[in-house]
Amino acid sequence: VDEIQSMNRTVFLLIEDLATCEFSEDAFVSILSQIQDNVDKLGFICDAKMG
């Protein structure tokens, strides 16, 4: 659960970064990519826990 909470927090902070800052397109794409990676990891963890 700690791992999931940690990733949720990471995603939340990345989304805040997107919402509050003005980025170059490269930075924007990089943050979206990081969010996607974390969401994918959450999916794998949930799948593993569900069996």
pLDDT in tens, 31-43: 889 889 988 988 8
- What's the confidence (pLDDT) of residue 36? 92
Question: What is the tally of structural domains in the chain?
Answer: 1
Domain that holds residue 40: 2-50
Sign of the dihedral through C-alpha 34, 38, 39, 44: positive
- Chain segment 1-49, per-residue pLDDT in tens: 788 888 888 888 888 887 776 768 888 888 889 889 988 988 888 888 8
Residue 51 has pLDDT above 80, yes or no: no
